[in-house]
Amino acid sequence: MPPKYAIGIDLGTTNCALAYAEIQPGADPFAPANVQLSPIPQLVNPGETRAEDLLPSFLYLPGASDFPAGSLGLPWDAGREFVVGRLAQKRGVENAGRLVSSAKSWLSHSGVDRTSALLPFRAPEGVEKISPVEASRRYLEHLRQAWDSNLPDAPFAQQQVLVTVPASFDAVARELTLEAARQAGYQDITLLEEPQAAFYAWIERHPDWRDRVRVGDLILVVDIGGGTTDFTLIAVTESAGELSLNRVAVGEHILLGGDNIDLALAGVVARRLAEKGTRLDARQHQALWANCRVAKEHLLDPASKDKDQPVTILGRGSGLVGGTVKAKLLREDIEQVLGDGFLPAVGSGDLPAAQRRVGLQELGLPYAADAAITRHMARFLRQQAATAEHGSVRRGPSGLACPTHVLFNGGVLTAAMVRERILATLDSWLAAEGLPPVAPLAGEDLMHAVSRGAAYYGLTRHGRGVRIRGGVPRTYYVGVESSMPSIPGFPAPLKALTVVAFGMEEGTQVRIPGREFGLIVGQPAEFRFFTSAARKNDQPGDLIEDIGEELAELSPMEVSFAGAEASAEVVPVSFETVVTETGVLQLWCVARDGRRWKLEFNVRERVGA
């Protein structure tokens, strides 16, 4: 049965959101998408369920006496023994040691086993722990169950589902997100980059978008969420006499966002307390971090006029009243931390500072060494301009990639002061290039744009609306060892087989014709990949005999494929190439007997480290 709805899910570091649009086969391709938000029932107090338009990405693992018996049940799960959403966030402020947060950031941490029980990271002894994948599964499962509770006549499992990920997620983080979704009961899943989803939301809200931009414009999407900062460039081009949109660059993975800001604010409050003689231990620091998150959100709310917000944490003793520590987070604290630390006024040549690494480090998330988001933005625009094909981006005289427009996304950017500081910085860079100021695209509902845009993108896959094109910006090759006789002192020559052609569209696949190669299975083997920005005419199946300077080698990959035999064997295989919607190259090795093995890596355009 074909799906009735396209469901967009923003699996956020701080909040999740759920939106949907009816697919309507045969409808006018340019008819309004009519994307809607789906309310998400969740516990807001013990025994009290309420539908809200966001599901906070917090999971609380209760102790035996934390809640009255039977008070954690939901309409679809009366016996639930953990808490997801608003109540989890509230209770975690009081007891941070049992709160799972930032699971999405841990999901992207390549330095740990993301399937092992890590969270809550600094939980006291005796507290159950779960993996980042399991935490993500529980959020996704809650969203699925909430949908089925709201629309029982349109089962979630029968709909088209689009789950968003940061543009900078690596192949492993993307695959683990898919695995969490599969474990949560998702059937038809597509991943979509968050900045693209945000731009789709802007298109959905502005059917007259062609009147707002023109050929040659360059749109910078600045996405600052709870855990990551992403930069994306989208070029406005022309195709067959019509305006079209092409994603031309995606930045590197930057673990820098609202979590870092909250931690910095907690440090400010902790220093103020220390000056008055009150020093906090590690458990209290965790609680203060959670309290500062809540206080910051209140003070940055556009409707708030308060100059400060109280923060209260439990003391070291057992008393709940006499043992509390009280302090205040000031609005001026936020302005100073953001202005001096995260959004300083810098020149476009000021790049992030490298931090000297200490030999021994405390385990934890690998946050960006330099917290200045404006310097990371400068590096993105500088290095992207240096590596981009001529004419693919608008450049200034100094070589800086110069956007004409900027689109904001992410919870941090709901604060006007953050948007204003970024605009002022961009305008100063453009003025130095002799160019006019950047034009901000009309403000959107930043808390729901990603889920709304994902639902809209689902419609584009059924011929509705406008689709952003983002063909692969380089040609990719896999190394093939020559079959020539070995010569002492000389390694076997290496050839390069073209597996991805320049401009191959994401979401497409190709079978490489007429060639078979021997694949080593049953023992570890190294696979070498190459890329070229210069060779644009090589097609899948072309074999490059001489690997010269036009081909740059990527990091090799060591993989051990299981074989049918107990010992190593060489299996004749042909190749099939798939470039997924999120830019992951899947190179399938297909044996004559039908066995299949998969290699994959990310083919997104990356900015140098």
* Number of domains into which the chain is organized: 4
Please give the angle made by the CA atoms of 161, 583 and 139, to the nearest 5 degrees: 35
39 in a structural domain: yes
pLDDT of residue 42: 98
pLDDT of residue 357: 46
Same structural domain for residues 43 and 178?
yes
Q: In the predicted model, what is the mean pLDDT of residues 434-438?
A: 97
199 in a structural domain: no
349 in a structural domain: no
CA-to-CA distance for 187 and 148, rounded, in angstroms?
14
Domain of residue 284, CATH code? 3.90.640.10
Same structural domain for residues 215 and 77?
no
Token pair for 39 = 């309310």
Same structural domain for residues 36 and 54?
yes
CA-to-CA distance for 433 and 94, rounded, in angstroms?
51
Same structural domain for residues 263 and 250?
no
Same structural domain for residues 421 and 508?
no
Q: In the predicted model, what is the mean pLDDT of residues 324-339?
A: 92
200 in a structural domain: no
Nearest one of 308, 314, 320, 324 to 286, comparing CA atoms: 314
Same structural domain for residues 107 and 170?
yes
Of 596 and 253, the structure prediction assigns the larger pLDDT to 596
204 in a structural domain: no
466 in a structural domain: no
Same structural domain for residues 232 and 303?
no
Domain that holds residue 415: 209-254+368-460
Torsion of CA 283, 288, 293, 297, to 10 degrees: 160
Of 273, 308, 342, which marks where a domain is finished? Answer: 342
Count of CA atoms in the C-beta half-sphere (13 A) of 126: 3
Of 342, 359, 379, which marks where a domain is finished? Answer: 342
pLDDT of residue 317: 54
Same structural domain for residues 430 and 497?
no
Q: Which of 85-89, 171-175, 226-230, 386-390 has the highest mean pLDDT?
A: 85-89
Same structural domain for residues 175 and 110?
yes
Contact present, 314 and 250 (Cβ < 8 Å): no
360 in a structural domain: no
607 in a structural domain: no
Same structural domain for residues 115 and 41?
yes
- pLDDT digits 0-9 by tens, 480-528: 887 655 455 555 678 999 998 877 887 789 998 778 888 888 888 888 8
Domain of residue 231, CATH code? 3.30.420.40
Same structural domain for residues 34 and 13?
yes
Of 192, 218, 236, which marks where a domain is finished? Answer: 192
Count CB-CB contacts under 10 A for residue 127. Answer: 14
Same structural domain for residues 269 and 247?
no
